[in-house]
Amino acid sequence: MIAPLQDWLACCPSGKYSTAEALEERINDPTKSKHYWRWRQQCLLEDLCEDEEFQSTVRGMASRM
């Protein structure tokens, strides 16, 4: 199973890591020739490492997969 980081960030209960509309966070849009496989993380990795709530949420979801 592949779980893109933006999907995990969107599951954060506080919503602080989902700063864009879902369509804006789409990685690939084959209908646009200039929209290739790309995505930019909008938060720092250090913030994710310090966020216990986010880690707990991801850990819980991953254990149910």
**What local confidence, expressed as pLDDT, does residue 10 receive?**
81
Confidence of residue 57 (pLDDT cuts 50, 70, 90): confident
Please tell me whether the overall predicted TM-score, pTM, comes out greater than 0.85 for this model.
no
Q: How distant, in Å, are the alpha carbons of 11, 14, 27, 31, 32 from that of 5?
A: 10, 16, 11, 23, 23
* Mean pLDDT, residues 21-38: 71
